[in-house]
Structure 1
C-alpha cells in the first residue's frame, strides 16, 4: 500500500548529520585503528529485511557504521496482512578488524517514521551480540498515538560495561531489531505503522564504535 508523503521528512538532512558521527558521551580511551575497516553482510534474515534490502557502510573515520533498510515497515489496518503487525531483522556482519585492535558498540541510534492513530501503540526493540557470546539485554522503546512524525531512540552502554570482541578471533557480529504495532483502541478502519526504512537511501541507524588496542601476547 502507498504510504503518506510525510515519511519523506525523515530523509531531509539525515545523511549529512549521521555521517558526521559525533562521538558518544561515554568516556574512555580514544583509540582508532588507522587502517580502513571493512564490514560485510554475511547473512540477512527476517520479515523486515529480505535479501537485498539492507546495506552497511562504515564511517570514513572508523568511529561508526550505518545500516540502511529499504522495506522495514510494521503496520495494521485495512489491506495489511495479519502478520504485518510485527517485523524483525537479524543481520550477521563479518567485521574485518585491523590486527592488534578490538571493538565494542558503545551507542546505537535508531531512526524511522511513525504514523499511529489515537489509541494505537508501537514498539522498537534491539539487541546485539558477538557470535558464540551471550546476547545483550534487548532494549525496548514504546510509542503511543496520535503520532505522525519522525522518531528516534538511543541505546547507550557505559564504557565499563562494554562487551568487546575477542582479540585475535573472527567473531561475526549479530544485530537483532524488531518493530511492532498494535491497533489498540484506535478507530476501526484506520491504518497505523512504524517504519525503519528510507525513501531515498538516507541513513537510518547508526552504531558508534569504541576501540581498544589488544594486549601483547606473553611469550
Structure 2
C-alpha cells in the first residue's frame, strides 16, 4: 500500500531534518527529489486494521502516522490484555539515489492518567530488515500523574544505524505502551495513550542524511 502524498493534522508526525554540522561530519541537506513511503505492514494491538495511517507531505520533508485506537489501561474491570499495547510499522522508504538515512532522535507525546502507586512505560525499537542492529529506548512514568507526557530518544552520531546504500530494506518502528497497576486500588483505572484524541499529541522522528560512497 503506497502512502498518499498528503500533509495532515496528525498524532504522529515524522519530520525529516539534517543534523547540525557540529554533531558529526558535515551532512548534506535532505535530498530535493521526492521521497516515497510504501507501507509494507501495520499491525499490533495498538493499531488494529483501519486505525493507523501514513501520509507523506507534499514538500517531502515529513511523513505522518495517525493513530486512533492506541491506549493501554489497567483496573476498573479492564481485561489483563489491555495493560500492554504495541504497534509495528514496516515501511519501505524510497530515497533518491546516492543518499541514505538514519534515525537521529525521536520525540514521543501522549496522555497518561496514573493513580498513586501505578506506573507506565513507553518503549520504541528501530531496525532495518536483515540488520542485527536494533536501537531501543524505554521511558517510565509514575503515578500520581494526570497530564500530557513526552519522551525523547537521542542517538549519538557514532551509534546511528544507517540504511544500507543501494539496497532496499524495510525500516521497522515498533512502539509499545504498558501500564502497571502496582499498589493502586484495583477499583481505580490508570491508562496511557498515544492516539489522536488530542491534536497536540505527536511523535517526531528526526532523520539524519548522508551521501553514499561513490562507486568507482
Q: Does TM, scored on the shorter chain, surpass 0.5? A: yes
Aligned to 2:75: 77
Aligned to 1:179: 177
- Give the conservation status (yes or no) of the 8 Å contact 1:64–1:209: no
Distance in 1 of aligned mates of 2:171 and 2:113 = 31
**1:93-132, aligned counterparts within 5 Å?**
93-132=91-130
Structural RMSD (CA): 2.4
Aligned to 1:66: 64
Deviation at 1:31, TM superposition (A): 2.6
Distance in 1 of aligned mates of 2:213 and 2:130 = 22
Distance in 1 of aligned mates of 2:19 and 2:98 = 23
- Give the conservation status (yes or no) of the 8 Å contact 1:31–1:213: no
Question: Which segments of 5 or more consecutive residues in structure 2 lack a partner in the other structure?
Answer: 1-8
Comparing 37-46 with 114-123, which one deviates more in the overlay?
37-46
Distance 1:93 1:62, change over 3 A: same
Deviation at 1:139, TM superposition (A): 1.1
SS of the residue aligned with 1:108? strand
Comparing 201-210 with 86-95, which one deviates more in the overlay?
201-210
Distance in 1 of aligned mates of 2:200 and 2:51 = 13
1:143 paired residue among 132, 136, 141: 141
The two structures have a TM-score, normalised by structure 1, of 0.84
SS of the residue aligned with 1:138? strand
- Give the conservation status (yes or no) of the 8 Å contact 2:105–2:155: yes
Distance 1:203 1:188, change over 3 A: closer
Aligned to 2:161: 163
Deviation at 1:169, TM superposition (A): 0.8
Aligned to 1:27: 23
The two structures have a TM-score, normalised by structure 2, of 0.85
Question: Which segments of 5 or more consecutive residues in structure 1 lack a partner in the other structure?
Answer: 1-13
Deviation at 1:160, TM superposition (A): 2.1
